[in-house]
Amino acid sequence: MQNQESRSYADNGRGRGVASRGPGENRGGRRGPASKSVSRSDSRLGSEAGVKSLVKVVPSNWPSSVRYLAIPVYAGISPRQRQLLQTQPADMPGASASTPPLPEIPPVLRFGPSPLVEIHAITDPAHPACGQYGLFTARHLPAGSFILPYFGVYHRGNVAVGRHGQGTNLHNKKESDYDLWLDRDADVAVDAERCGNEARFINDYRGTGKPRANAEFREVWDPRRGERGMAVFVLPATKRLLQKAVSGTGGIAKGEEILVSYGKGFWEMRQKEAREKETVGESTGKNEDRSGNQGNAINTAATATVRGVSANQSQRETADEPPASANTPAELLGTLSINDRLEVDSVTDRMGSLKVVAKFPKNLSFEQCPALT
């Protein structure tokens, strides 16, 4: 079972934060099996053809089990929801005259891997996400600056509730730690568990030794696609940091890990789930880990210890993982289609309180992304 907070690993300040329950050059480091280098001289970058070609390009260290997205994809979003996504809040019916426009993604931003960030495996045993990946800066990023968009599957925010009360995203049939609220009122969230961009690797600052987050998720307007979305920004400078910024030390230094706050609710829910799983494990004699980072983890012990989950990543469910080699948009959309007949008990409302509101529709399918059609 999820609650509103647990769906949020951050909040953008407009009540539309991170949901459920975390122009291109490649740098050094290990390369994922699916990696291809980014050609900065690719004249098609930014064009529709460029988007299509960049779907084939992944950043260094991108895990082969996760599909890289240069634009979002859509699952089960209604035409009305799409319309809402393509409307600035200030233009919404009933919006007050003082509603500010959303901050904009730089219109010249290229589609594909960002030169501002690098994905690295975390090998420091003191880091609570040791054995997983994290996102690091490739250069100094000024306070308040835009870092990158958060891409994933735009889906209905509703969650189904499984036998043990755990929440499950309807669109991918299991809970996700990469699912961010985009618009709670419109019931749209963006999940990067199975496919996404570099932003999906941003860890929470808790337990890392850093006193606070250095970045945040914010709702944005993407003028390239005429659509709302989520993005990551360097935290704006506080008065104290502003003074430092004058001497050039504000923002995030080159090589530092980008860290956000997932929100207290995210971690409270994780603890609750860990307790429940331990209870289930005790009663059945086995433990399971249903964490959302199964696809990426390169070492499981540290994760399990930190999160208090006495489980092993190797026991993760793999049956409904999509194949990892789709490259073209058609393949991408094809392999992500969900036409399965899902059997669920009930659906929670978007506040997450356990409440039967609807039976899950039997067929969900991905809509073609307008940028690709």
Ligand X SMILES: C[S@@+](CC[C@H](N)C(=O)[O-])C[C@H]1O[C@@H](n2cnc3c(N)ncnc32)[C@H](O)[C@@H]1O
Contacts with ligand X by CB under 6 A lie at: 22, 128-129, 132-134, 177-178, 200-201, 203-204, 206-208, 291-293, 296, 303, 306
Closest residue by Cα to residue 333 from 111, 73, 67: 73
Exposure class string for 68-89: b at 16+ Cβ within 10 A, else e: bbbbbbbbbbeeebbebbebeb
Q: Which is nearer to ligand X, 89 or 263 (CB)?
A: 263
> 180 - beta bridge partners?
190
* DSSP per-residue letters across 39-73: -TT-TTTTSHHHHHHHTT-B-TT--TTSEE-SS-E
Residue 15, helix vs strand vs coil: coil
Question: In the complex, what is the shortest distance from the CB of residue 80 to ligand X, in angstroms, rounded to a whole number?
Answer: 29
Residue 305, helix vs strand vs coil: helix
Residue with nearest beta carbon to ligand X: 22
Q: Which is nearer to ligand X, 132 or 158 (CB)?
A: 132
Question: In the complex, what is the shortest distance from the CB of residue 18 to ligand X, in angstroms, rounded to a whole number?
Answer: 9
Q: Which is nearer to ligand X, 71 or 258 (CB)?
A: 258
Strand (E) or helix (H) holding 230:
strand 227-234
Question: In the complex, what is the shortest distance from the CB of residue 264 to ligand X, in angstroms, rounded to a whole number?
Answer: 12
Residue 265, helix vs strand vs coil: helix
Q: Which is nearer to ligand X, 132 or 172 (CB)?
A: 132
Distance CA 108, CA 288 (A): 45
Q: 255: left (phi > 0), else alpha (psi -120 to 50), else beta?
A: left
Residue with tokens 């050609």: 39
Question: In the complex, what is the shortest distance from the CB of residue 33 to ligand X, in angstroms, rounded to a whole number?
Answer: 16
Q: Which is nearer to ligand X, 84 or 259 (CB)?
A: 259
Q: Which is nearer to ligand X, 53 or 303 (CB)?
A: 303
R_g (Cα) of the chain, nearest Å? 20
Q: 329: left (phi > 0), else alpha (psi -120 to 50), else beta?
A: alpha
Q: Which is nearer to ligand X, 81 or 114 (CB)?
A: 114
Distance CA 77, CA 85 (A): 10
Strand (E) or helix (H) holding 186:
none
Question: In the complex, what is the shortest distance from the CB of residue 136 to ligand X, in angstroms, rounded to a whole number?
Answer: 12
Q: Which is nearer to ligand X, 42 or 191 (CB)?
A: 191
Strand (E) or helix (H) holding 157:
none
